[in-house]
Amino acid sequence: MTTMERIRRLLVEKLDLRAEMIVPEATLDSLGLDSLDKIEFMFALEDEFNIKIEDRNVKINTLMDGVEVIDKLIAAKHA
Choose, from 29, 34, 55, 65, the residue flagged as catalytic: 34
* Whether 16 is catalytic: no
Q: Name residues whose C-beta falls within 8 Å of residue 51's C-beta, 6 or more positions apart in sequence.
A: 45, 70, 73, 74, 77
Return the axis-axis angle of helices 63-78 and 35-49, rounded to nearest 10°: 30
Catalytic sites, residue numbers: 34
